[in-house]
Structure 1
Amino acid sequence: MSTATEYRDLLVQFAPRPIQSAADYRRTVAQLERIMEPHPSAARSQLIEVLATLIERYESRDYPTPEGDPADVLKNLLDAKGVTPAGVAKATGISPATISNVLARRRCISKANALVLGKYFGVSATVFL
C-alpha cells in the first residue's frame, strides 16, 4: 500500500479535526495513543504529527504554561488551583516556611522541591527553576 493511500485511509478512520472541548481533547489523545508504535510507517508518522499539533494547540490555548519568576509561577498556580500555601505544604511535605519564603522571594526553590511542586500542580518542574 502506498503512503498516500495509507494516509488517506488513516484520515478516514481517525477524522482529525480542531479540538474545541475537553471531550474532543480526550478523544484526540486516545487516538494518538492508539496510533503510536515504536516504528510507525510514514503515513502513521504524518498522522501522529497532525494529532500532536492539534493537542499542542489546544493545550497551549486552554492550559498555558505559567511564565515568570518561580514566586509568580507558584502564586499563579496556587490561585488557579484554589489552594493555600499551607494546603500545598501539607499535601507535598514541603515546609510552610519554605513556601512562604519562596513566595516572598527570600528563597529559591530547590530542584527537589521543584519536582514535588511540578508533580502536585501537574506542570514541568522547570517552571520553578
Structure 2
Amino acid sequence: MTLRPIRNDEDYETALEEIEALWNAEEGTPEIDRLDILVLLVEAYEAEHYPIPDPHPIELILHVMDARGLTRRDLEPYLGSRARVSEILNRRRPLSLEMIRKLQMGLGLPADVLVQSYELEDIPKRATTMAEIGANKE
C-alpha cells in the first residue's frame, strides 16, 4: 500500500489497523520507517479532527497537586499567602503573571495553559446592615 494523506475516517481507521500490525516491527527495517510515517499522519489527522482542549488553569493546578501529593501550603511559594492560595484555587482571584511565572519555573506547569482567561466565582456579598442580616435569614 502506498502512503498517502489521511482524508477521512475510513483512511484513519485503515491507518490505525496498519499501525497495530506494524507495532512490533524491528528497528532499522522498512516496516519501522512505515510505522513512523503512519504515526505522523495519524497524529496530524487527530490534531485537526479530534483536538484535545487545554485544561482549565485551576484544574491543572489541582490535578498536579493530587498527582504529586502537594498541599495548599506547598503552593504558597508560588501563589502567596494561605489566603491567596485559597482565593486562587476557589476561583475568586485570577492568577497573576508573576504567579504564572513561578508555577512554570517551580513546578514545570505549562505557561500557555496557565495564561488562559477564566471566569471567577462570584464572591457573596457580606451583610453590612441589620436589615441585610435579617433579609439573609429568610
Give the TM-score, by structure 1 length. Answer: 0.44
> Which structure shows the higher helix fraction?
1
| Bigger Cα Rg | 2
* TM-score (ref. length: structure 2): 0.41
Q: Higher relative contact order at CA 8 Å, sep ≥6: structure 1 or structure 2?
A: 1
